[in-house]
Amino acid sequence: MKVLISVFFMMNLIQISLNGQNENSFQKGEDAKNPADKIFFYTRQIEKDGGNSVVYNNRGIAKFDMKDYQGAILDFSKAIQLDPKQVLAYFNRGNSRLNLKEYQAAITDYSKAIELNSKDPKFFINRGYAKYSVKDYQGAIEDYNKVLGLEPKNSLAYLNRGLAKYSLTDNQGAISDYTKSIGLDLQNAIAYFNRGLARYTAKDYHGAIIDYSKAIGINPKDAKSYHNLSIAYFSLNDFDKAITYGLAGLSMDPQNALIYNNLGYFYMAKGDYGNAITQFQKCLKINNKYFDASLGLSMTYYYKNDKTTAKKYLKEAQVAEPNLYNGMIGVAEIEKTGYAISDKKRETLKKMFEDLK
């Protein structure tokens, strides 16, 4: 059974004004409402006088807004070439590289921005995100500590530091940070969601249910919150509510194979094998390599005492996940990747591997 994680980081690009200058095309670029028009007018300004650091920076932002991240990087680099101390161009280029998942390059740019201006919390926030993305969780925590030193009431810094702590298996530290984030922003659905996840991991299923329910109250269209809420109820053996919230999540994300798979296990646990089979088959229709759905079908038919069909689907699961050829030893290997199973599922699999040889 797999829960979903929600991560939220800010990436604000910063535009610069040309004080005391009235270049016509530049001003039109600033006044333009859509990025394509901005690019047109900034380009005209560059063609007219060769441009300067500010014009290249602002055209880079327009390209960024059009998701032309490589083009944006070229403009921010030109801005830096023209003015090596243009701190915002480093920050903006870092954001572009972040969107291209060039995390180390982004860290380098954010670090240069911080070298030029160590008082702007946004630079540490985004470098923290980049460090988190390369699994430097302790480095991310240190950056969020810097943010909180500059802005003690920064809700986002608590939220992101909580996620970094959670990634280091510091559940209580994560819960503490999420709680502080919520205290500063009572409508922070993501903080409730992430605190729910930390509580679920700590086996505080009732606490997780409260937090996921609060997240849904703030953002009633978030399929992830319904999905995780369904798993929390399943962990309390409340199969009816698990199914209800699983179906609610599915109505918002009808192509989510994971939710179909989990619904299969919910129905199986309830003894509704017909619906369990239907959900597993729908999961496999979306992703025919989803080994856990094939394994669920095998278990369902095994419970129905149809060992021939159970063996067929076990074979399909083994083809999709070769570790399963090694029985429970293979299951243990899969668990190392984050695959979680209940005691009952473990017991059933042990019997199946012996019985379906």
CATH of the domain at 54: 1.25.40.10
Q: Is residue 43 part of a domain?
A: yes
pLDDT value, residue 26:
74
Q: Is residue 140 part of a domain?
A: no
pLDDT value, residue 8:
42
Instruction: Report the alpha-carbon distance of residue 166 to residue 170 in Å, rounded.
Output: 5
Of 96, 117, 138, which residue is a domain's last?
117
295-337 residue pLDDT tens? 999 999 999 999 999 999 999 999 999 999 999 999 999 999 8
Q: How much is the pTM?
A: 0.87
Residue 341 has pLDDT above 90, yes or no: no
Q: Is residue 42 part of a domain?
A: yes
Q: Is residue 255 part of a domain?
A: no
Q: Is residue 156 part of a domain?
A: no
What is the overall mean pLDDT for the chain? 92
Task: Return all residues near 238 (Cβ < 8 A) that are at least 6 apart.
Answer: none
Instruction: Report the alpha-carbon distance of residue 106 to residue 90 in Å, rounded.
Output: 9
Of 93, 117, 141, which residue is a domain's last?
117
Q: Is residue 169 part of a domain?
A: no
Of 117, 142, 159, which residue is a domain's last?
117
Q: Is residue 311 part of a domain?
A: yes
343-353 residue pLDDT tens? 889 999 999 99
- Which amino acid, 192? Y
How many domains does the chain divide into?
2
Residue 1 has pLDDT above 70, yes or no: no
Instruction: Report the alpha-carbon distance of residue 172 to residue 160 in Å, rounded.
Output: 15
Instruction: Report the alpha-carbon distance of residue 94 to residue 9 in Å, rounded.
Output: 14
Containing structural domain, residue 40:
1-14+22-117
Q: How many CB atoms lie within 10 A of CB 305?
A: 7
Instruction: Report the alpha-carbon distance of residue 45 to residue 164 in Å, rounded.
Output: 44
Q: Is residue 336 part of a domain?
A: yes
pLDDT value, residue 13:
55
Q: Are 246 and 237 in contact (CB under 8 A)?
A: no
pLDDT value, residue 12:
47
4-29 residue pLDDT tens? 444 444 444 555 544 444 457 778 87
pLDDT value, residue 14:
52
